[in-house]
């Protein structure tokens, strides 16, 4: 598995980092004499063993797979990935990936304690960039499960994983391309959703 240190020394949450990771992975695979297509590697190494069916995987003009945002999955298939993460990167009780490297994905940095490698964490953060502001879990860190991790996609699509509560939650949404291109933010609130979901039934 590609080391998170290779990809996330600056721990930035941008597609440019994902593209750099893609190129690094491609070079490492080719250097080992393997197929240099990152999609094929991820499918062979992760998705196929998990039984994940890919709906589509969009490619760029050069024919290369779009790694940051090209994968299309049904909710049930995304949930399989969530369950894999909730289980600590194990399949049938056995590690599918290096456990130490897997854990590094969920560690924030001094620059942004609320962001690991493509995963959001319920941590307070000094970061004020537009991407960090797209989720409000950072403002309610003390009120959320400390072990929760969140994958956040375009159109406010979400994958919430809370190991301590044995929860994997998928939220899919219709993507408004025009609004996204115009920089308009929807009214989705992670905190509002999670506070209702995690509210004790007796209240």
**CB burial string 75-104: b at 16+ within 10 A, e below:** eebbbbbbebbbbebeeeeeebbeeeebeb
Predicted confidence at residue 2, as pLDDT, reads 39
Lowest mean pLDDT among 39-48, 77-86, 129-138: 129-138
Is residue 141's pLDDT more than 70? Answer: yes
Residue 33 in this model has a pLDDT that exceeds 50 = yes
Confidence grade of residue 187 (pLDDT, cut at 50, 70, 90): confident
Give the mean pLDDT of the chain.
85
106: buried, middle or exposed (CB in 10 Å: 19+, 13-18, 0-12)? middle
Q: What residues are paired with 174 via a beta bridge?
A: none
| pLDDT at position 131 | 81
Going 124 to 128 to 131 to 133, the CA torsion angle's sign is: positive
Structure tokens given for 90: 């194990």
Mean pLDDT of 105-109: 94
Determine contact, residues 136/189, Cβ cutoff 8 Å. Answer: yes
Per-residue pLDDT, averaged over 167-196, amounts to 85
CA dist 50 and 12 (Å) reads 28
pLDDT at 12: 43
Q: What is the CA radius of gyration of the chain?
A: 17
Residue 29 · residue 41 · CB < 8 Å: yes
Residue 46 is classified by DSSP as: I
Residue 60 CA to residue 66 CA, distance in Å, equals 6
Rounded percentage of the chain residues whose pLDDT exceeds 70: 87
Cβ-Cβ contacts under 8 Å for 119 (sequence gap 6 or more): 105, 106, 149, 150, 151
């Amino acid at each position: 598995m590609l080391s998170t240190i290779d990809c996330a020394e600056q721990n930035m949450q941008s597609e440019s980092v994902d593209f750099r990771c893609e190129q690094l992975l491609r070079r490492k695979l080719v250097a080992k004499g393997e197929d240099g297509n990152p999609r094929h590697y991820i499918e062979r190494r992760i998705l196929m063993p998990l039984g994940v069916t890919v709906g589509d995987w969009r490619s760029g003009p050069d024919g290369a797979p779009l790694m940051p945002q090209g994968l299309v999955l049904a909710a049930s298939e995304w949930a399989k990935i969530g369950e894999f993460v909730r289980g600590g990167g194990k399949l049938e009780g056995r590690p599918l990936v290096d456990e130490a490297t897997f854990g590094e994905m969920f560690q924030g940095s001094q620059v942004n304690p609320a962001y690991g490698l493509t995963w959001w964490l319920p941590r307070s953060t000094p970061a004020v960039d537009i991407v960090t502001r797209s989720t409000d879990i950072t403002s309610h860190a003390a009120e959320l499960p400390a072990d929760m991790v969140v994958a956040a996609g375009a159109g406010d699509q979400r994958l919430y994983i809370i190991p301590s509560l044995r929860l994997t939650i998928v939220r899919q949404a219709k993507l408004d391309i025009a609004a996204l291109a115009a920089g308009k933010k929807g009214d989705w609130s992670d905190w509002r959703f999670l506070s209702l979901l995690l509210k004790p039934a007796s209240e």
